[in-house]
Structure 1
Amino acid sequence: MPIQPKFRFDSPPDSAQRYFTDRDEPRAIFAKYLNANSTEEHQILNFYGIGGVGKSRLITEFVNSVKKSDRWTPLTLDMAQANLHESAAALLNLRNQLAKALPKFKFRSFDYVYATYWQKLNPSIDLSDSSFDILENSDLLTEIGTNLFDTLEAVPGLGIINKVAKLGKKANSAINSWWLKRGCSITQQLEQKQSNEIKLWLPAYFAQDIHDFLDEYPQHRVCVFFDTYEALWENNTSAGKFFEVDEWVRELVGHLPQFLFVIAGREKLRWLETDPDWNDVIDSHILERLSDKDSTLFLERCGIANNTIASAIAISSEGSPFYLDLAVDSYRKLLSSGKSPDITDFMGKTPRELLDRFIRYLDRNELASLKVLALCRTYDVDLFSALMKAFETGYSPVNFAEFNRYSFIHHINEHDFTISALMKRAMIDYLEKDTQIRVRSFLYHYFRDKITDLALEGAKGFSNFDNVSYYATDLVFNNEKRFDYLMLCGRVYQYQTKMADALAQYEKAVSVADSNLIEVQQARIEIATTQRQHGDEVAASRTIKKILEDCIVEPSDEIKGKALVQLGLCYYSLAQTKHEPALIEKCIECYQEGLELALKLEDAKQIVYTKLSLSTAFESIGKIPEAIELLHECKVLAKKNGFEHQYIDCLNGLARKYIIIGEYTTAIELAEEGLKRWQQSNFKRGQLVMCCHLLEAHFKLGNPKESVTEILTDGQTLSEDVTETLIIQMFEKSKSLWL
């Protein structure tokens, strides 16, 4: 599209925020306040939401509705105007709006105090200077000009206080009455005050004039609208001075319970942090996105009749009116340039103007923090702190709660947060590719390092693994990291009894390892384990024997020890299914040789795993005391080293052995603890084994069937996911006791 200026005489007369769409709920809330008759209790309506969500348009709609009322007068302050950030200027603006709207309104106290403030701030400027034209329709200053400027009292050195004091004695009856009621006491209050002290009192004197007017016209109501409220902090971002910035607004509101105040900004008002009583009078409402239906309706009204294009824009906009405005402008520009708009014209980057709207009023440190957080699915205080430190954003982790008050931050729960999807997209679209890669890489390793035990990971719903998988997308790994990732995926899928998925990941790991024989062997051990657990002991045995042959070529005690234990497990399974006791002897030989290697390497986890397997073999040949002794040794070692999975395996083994020796109550206690732990980690295979023990122990104790109804149901459900033949046979046997 050729370059075109933004402001053109042939542009459509209606610019983008064209139609007030939806917002029925905010309008109903505002209407309720307009129709209320309360003039004694403070009323503050607060609408907040992300930039571009339509707050200013909502304020405009409210102002228009107020203008239709005979009872109400609207006053507006758009804090995007930097000159209104200063309290005296903002109050002067309100004063002039009210004087123009209601000529009967006289601001004698405020005009007197403001003129005093102004002259103390600018001592070289006399009241006759044109600067005082800023006080529109001021009968007080008019009287000063009429009665004093043509006398010697008008000499430049004579200040406003002296002039008003003299005026009070010779002015018209209205001003003389004000002088007696207000002016004399104000003079006494002002004489010793400096300009900065007088400035703090301006809201009080403004309110004093309001009260005098409403005493005479009690039926009249005023609504003050603050828009873009967050802009007040544009140049005042210090956390320590945060509440000082809008203290004058709270002071004004406190003086005027008769007014309705409507404050729109990006963040929810935090006044209750200065005084909890504000919570009773502030009615805050977040302004959410437009619905897809209303977004589409908006686009149709703007002339986008193509349903496909309108739908694409509506979905991409995620309900942001500002985004929709920009899309309509783009659509019209395409038409004016002679092109026929196509859906692909609206599927690129988010408009730069949208990002600019989002990040307006953010300081450099906040913006740097947003850049890294935009790439997070979610974050909590720990991740936030780690990112701020790693990328030196300049934002202190101590201010975590402060940061999360922004309206573009969504609170998922008490601990987890995320940035709104549209803000994320806008940030990422204009974020340097190198920065994206560095942040994603950091996030990948942050969550990868958290996965140390699959049982503990399962107890968390595999949330860390989900994050690892998410951040791995689009990252380019070297072979070492790629291998680690594939092996992790395989183990998690194996744990979740997704055996086909696990095998696929391990096969990829073998391919990635390529010439690194140790890594190839590690992957093959996991393949053999998965094959065995999938019920294919013959295939598993072939895989393991190949591993052992390769260990002759490139010796590795670690690989050989693990392979021997897996071979022993294959022999054990085959012995049970084929009823060949001789295979148990081979099984025990493999375990004992594997245990020697694990002890030599001082590999605690492998020692526990091997002893657990050996205890099962001892059970099958009647060596129950020896098996129980091994299991107690394993339990102590597993607990000492934090091996959750192996610890629960010990509970499983002990439950089984106590059933054999007739200690059924102890067996039930052990199996119930084990089942609870496996349920927390969502390990289905382990849960099914514990169900088998519970079914058998309860049967042996002669307990009624009602005591195991839930166990039977859960076991049946679990058996549909578990594929290991031996375990399925165990369940069928235990279940049959109750049928």
Structure 2
Amino acid sequence: MAGRRLPRRSIAARQALRRRRALHLRIDRERERALLGAFFDALATPGAAPDYPIVNIHGVGGVGKSTLVRWAWDEFQARQAADAMLLVPLDIDSDKAASMRVVEFFWFMRMQIYHQLRESLLAFDYVYVKYLEKTHQRIPLDEGPLQQFFARLAARDSRLSGVLGGVGSLVQSTPLGAALNAALSYVRDSARERRLMRELGIDLAEIDDWSAGEIEQLLPQLLAEDLGRLLIERERPLVLVVDGYERLSARAEQAFVESFAASLLLEPSFAQRAGMILLGREAVDWSAHDDPADAQQWNRDLIRDLPLRGFSETWADAYLTRAEAFFRDAGDAALAQQVRRHAGRIKRACCERDATGRTYHPFYLDICLTMIEDHGASFDPARHLGETPRELMHRFFKYMDEEELTLHLVLSLAVHFDWPLVHALGARGVVRAWTQTAFLRYVARHSYIRECADRGLYGFSRLMQAALASRMRTLDAARKDALRQAAWPAFTALFRDMLDKALRAEDRGAAEIWLDRAGHMLMQAARTELVPADEAYETFCALADMCRALLARACIGWHRAWSGLLRARLGAEHPCTRHSLAAWADSLADLIEEGRRILRGDR
């Protein structure tokens, strides 16, 4: 009957329905899933190796690259033992990651490997410490791999039992040289490391005579060789998944390809235990790294190219047919009828064109289904969908509940969010007060909210984040001013308070987390024009100054990232841009001085 409303469902029921819908509507990608499945199976099979050791999945943001890998990995785990293989995610699609120096990048990789494989890589860990010593940097004994390294060293040598303090900091009364001398002996006693050093023709005792630049060149190869031998020992293959590959700097990419990937993937015994998946917007081109003396070429012989695009029209039709069947089977015949009746209008709203013709992005198709669910019998495609993806997103936000839209916009500023953040924003009156249960329901209700690698921390999918940023930029002046007056002081006060709390507790890890979250929020505020870029940067500087002594290394990366953003928005000669470059240089000087203080034994 015209005008009859669909039965109301509880929030919990709608959440459960959308979770089932996301699983049920996985469609297409059979070829891509089969290729990834064969890749995983070959690595997991003793004595076998994949046809190509690297898979490069590329396509526009939000097309489902990460989802495809998770899907194929879930299917692999369903048919293999739970510990058959390790998957190490390396997400470098962030402002800070884009500014990482070569050594920073490989230490970041080492940390992610440690999170999945809690084993020592003695040679790499020792040489990394020597690099920090050589460059007068603080040695982060509170970070997992080094904490484990020195804890085992202390257990081995009672004279050095004071190397680790109660919070994992170096006890200043213990001479660093004594600890490193004992560490050298510890590494040399490992049969695996002795073989590695012999094959590389390196005497670790001579590392002191190396320059920082020479050690930097060694570290990527050493990480690959040390890791490869450990995987053989443990008989466990590993897949490294690099998300946001295009963010790598030219120098980091050269080290990654020519030293790390070449050492790990071109050695036949390692190639049976290690593989890589590279995710990015564009296809990788490693031709510049080909060795003229080697008949093998990276792109031709070693990289499986796997472009990912939106659905073809045939697959878009199949997706909607499956959606119709799903709603009918779930007892929602009226929703199923809406999908069938308006399939043509749904496709029109989602249609884009690329070099191959029409394409239909799964993200937009999912938004259309959400609109149908939300509006029920009152759903009108002409009013709710529009004619293009841009119009679709405009109307999606236009008809969203006002409180819900405000929460979306505020959380998109935060970039990453969790329950404590939402609770704090509610206490400050930026959004309505939420219970933790209500927040978790909110997260579960939206398929475009994804849990990050850190459990309990969430973010919007890339396409939704971009759509919210566009929405923020186009808000009318009054709405934007109201949002700025509410959100801006609340965010800055919150991050300042949390940083201050971490610093007073001398909790370096918490301080770095809050500085990172502040940096992401402030950059997003500048990009969305909520506040001028120079004001956002000045606010960041005030926060960075609070922890300048403790987080010198973290400040280097952030000042470098800000210099790029300010140069693009304000110009190279703008005073704020020049200040960011000077702050970058100052933070490098701070790091050197911090290292010197540690070497002197100053408290």
- Which protein shows a greater Rg? 1
The TM tier, using the shorter chain, reads 0.3 to 0.5
Task: Kindly indicate whether structure 1 or structure 2 has the higher relative contact order, using CA contacts under 8 Å at least 6 residues apart.
Answer: 2
- The TM-score with structure 1 as length reference comes to 0.39
